[in-house]
Chains A and B, each alone.
Chain A
Amino acid sequence: MNGYLIYIVRRLGQFVLVVFIGINLAYVITHATPIDPVEQSISAATSFGNTAPDAIEQMRTSLRELYGLGGSPVEQYLVFWRRILRADFGPSMSAFPTPVSTLIGRALPWTAGLLMISTIITWVLGNLLGGLAGYYQKSRGLKLMGVIAMGLHPIPYYILALLLLIVFGFLWPVLPIAGGSAMNLPQTWTWDFISSVLMHAILPALSLILIGIGSWFLGMRSLVSNVVTEDYVVYAELGGVDRHRILTSYVMRNALVPQVTGLAISLGGIFNGAVITEKVFGYPGIGSLLVDAVYAGDYGLVLGVTTISIVGVSIGVLAIDLLYPLLDPRVKVR
């Protein structure tokens, strides 16, 4: 058990390091560039329409405070960290005076829900089909699926989402193409609301699943075709162990071990996909929030979403890493 403890401590250390480096990166980006972020934000925020001069001045003051631009670089750095640790990103510029944290809190469940469900479906489906394709290499259906996976895998997120939008939005309009739920429904736990949420989630989830499934499929297929040549699989075959048992407990089980690590590694990428997907389908998650915040020049919101996504993805990675030893008993001795 001691080995597991060391493992956990190590992963926690890695988690802290990821968050630390990520947030420092955010600091460097916002503070070390020669451009004055305050003026940038104000010009972006005020470029549409007329804003009263004293409102601009008020914005300027609160932005300066928000950036922590006063004082020495060390003080600025400390102020920056203090705000991050308190999750205090100030009021949103675009939805003044709602605090940034409230906006993020509202959007986060949408993204988390969409991402979790579609990631799990993608991972399970991709590995299952890829595993079968690696084991039954002669099956025509699975070979065809391999070709489809190869074709889908390299398509950029945006293009695929756009294609789905065209197909299900214009050519065959059966699914809602925008929003997280029907506008007229109150957000309470009624069946109408839940089914509306699910209906609205189908297209964005489908785009994420289609785009992601290829790499799991191909990865698992090649892993399985390696695992079947391992001694323990050959031995089980020579031992007349039930074919089904060999496939599940010997082949798939062992091939899945690196795929779990792979899932942790790919979480950051999955999040990238979610941002564009949310934008295309008008999904009210933090991806949309981020994009709109950039358009509106809302510094606090952009920084808040960036920080939250770094922390969120790191927590996801940590969670997967902590589950990993359940799958691979050898972790304890390493």
Chain B
Amino acid sequence: MLRILRDLLRYNPEFRIGIVLVGFVLILSVLASFSPYPPDQVYVVPPDVPPSPTYWFGTTSRGQDVFWQLTFAIRNTLLFGGTVALISRVLALVIGLVSGYKGGWIDRVLMSINDTFIVMPLLPILVLFYFVMRDSMSWLILALIMACLGWAYDARLIRSVAMSLKTREFTQSSVFSGMSTREILVQEHLPYVMPIVFSTTMNNMVWSIGLEVTLSVLGFTDINTPTIGGMIYWANQHTAMVAGIWWWIAFPTAIVVMTFIGLFLLAVSMNEYIDPRSRLSRMGGAS
């Protein structure tokens, strides 16, 4: 694991940039713990102050410091993305591995459902959720819902790998070495699937954060918990753009774009690293 990190850092510029961007955003989110102001209080600082040495990123029309507000927002947004990714990874892994290894009717049933979720337009469904739940909609519930809707594509990916692993001869060698199905899935197949899990984690976070921003901007989430989307929502409510309070929108936007590009670059470099051909040349197989 550490060696992979070292190799990537040393030889892959995309990974380096990605790490720097994501690292910066992470530091920012950690700073939330040191904020002098609680996130949910308004009018704690003078409103509408442009960026200055006192207020680095300016202040909002609601009297909040954009910088400190942003630390909370990015922390919550990352937590949100991470939660969705974590839960949906577990779903995708279990369904993908079982479907691929077991085959037969289990596979057919699971994949039919899977394909349905892949093409389902999620936004209207999420909107419908909000419409019914209204104020009871917390970000945790939203994360759960999105995790339940966001595993399908990656489960298919994992399944296809599991299927090809199943037909490889070493799987039979393992069977005849006396290993149980669980041992084979966990010890023999999981190492092949893990890199995919890592790289899809990044993509999944980009996806879920993007949807969260969209929903928040429309006001279809719990707007009282500060998130990046929530900040932009409030800025829009106060017509910040027209009023010239550009920093209220510009900094959250910049941070979320940084996060996305960083995560995306990590996924790209990870993909290159796990590409079987590149993997083989690293190991130095037969020519």
Contacts and interface: CB of A to CB of B under 8 A. Distances in A.
Contacts of A18: 115-116, 119-120
Chain B interface main SS type: helix
A279 B113 CA distance: 31
Given A40-B134, A306-B125, A154 B261 contact: yes
A312 to B, nearest CB: 8
Contacts of A37: 132
A40 B132 contact: yes
Contacts of B256: 156, 159
Contact of A265 (B119, B210, B241, B253): B119
Interface stretch (A123-131, A174-182, A238-246, A266-274): A266-274
Interface string B167-187: 000000000000000000000
Contacts of B220: 294
A154 B263 contact: yes
Contact of B257 (A35, A155, A170, A309): A155
Interface stretch (B37-45, B49-57, B82-90, B211-219): B211-219
Interface string A45-87: 0000000000000000000000000000000000000000000
B192 to A, nearest CB: 19
Interface string B252-277: 01001100110111001000000000
Contacts of A299: 131
A156 B260 contact: yes
A35 B137 CA distance: 11
Nearest to A265: B118
Nearest to B253: A159
A170 to B, nearest CB: 8
Among B132, B217, B263, max chain A CB count under 10 A is at B132
Interface string B129-144: 1111110100000000
Given A150-B268, A264-B119, A299-B131, A35 B125 contact: no
A153 B264 CA distance: 9
A155 B241 CA distance: 19
Given A294-B131, A309-B121, A309-B124, A158 B213 contact: yes
B260 A154 contact: yes
A313 interface: yes
A209 interface: no
A303 B128 contact: yes
Given A154-B257, A302-B127, A306-B124, A162 B249 contact: yes
Given A40-B134, A294-B131, A306-B127, A22 B120 contact: yes
B211 A272 contact: yes
Contacts of B115: 14, 17-18
Given A29-B129, A35-B132, A154-B261, A272 B119 contact: no
B128 A14 contact: no
A268 B122 contact: yes
A259 interface: no
Contact of A157 (B116, B128, B210): B210
Contact of B217 (A40, A268, A272, A276): A276
A323 to B, nearest CB: 15
Contacts of B263: 154
A118 interface: no
Interface residues of B, number: 46
A24 B3 CA distance: 48
B153 A272 contact: no
Given A35-B134, A156-B213, A30 B257 contact: no
A275 interface: yes
Given A154-B257, A157-B210, A313 B218 contact: no
Contact of A154 (B120, B123, B249, B264): B264
A26 interface: yes
B92 interface: no
A194 interface: no
Secondary structure call for the A interface? helix
B22 interface: no
A314 B119 contact: yes
A290 B127 contact: yes
Contacts of A151: 261
A159 B257 contact: yes
A217 B265 CA distance: 15
B176 to A, nearest CB: 31
A305 interface: yes
A26 B133 CA distance: 13
A190 interface: no
A40 B131 CA distance: 8
Contacts of A310: 120-121, 124-125
Contact of B214 (A170, A276, A309): A276
Given A18-B120, A294-B127, A313-B119, A35 B136 contact: yes
Interface of B: 112-113, 115-125, 127-134, 136, 153, 206, 209-211, 213-214, 217-220, 229, 232, 241, 249, 253, 256-257, 260-261, 263-265, 268
20 contacts: A29-B125, A29-B129, A40-B131, A150-B268, A154-B263, A154-B264, A155-B260, A156-B209, A156-B213, A158-B214, A265-B153, A268-B122, A271-B121, A275-B127, A275-B214, A279-B218, A291-B127, A302-B131, A306-B128, A309-B124
Given A156-B256, A302-B131, A309-B121, 18 more contacts: A21-B116, A22-B120, A156-B213, A156-B260, A158-B229, A166-B241, A265-B153, A268-B118, A268-B122, A271-B121, A271-B123, A275-B214, A291-B127, A295-B219, A310-B120, A310-B124, A310-B125, A314-B119
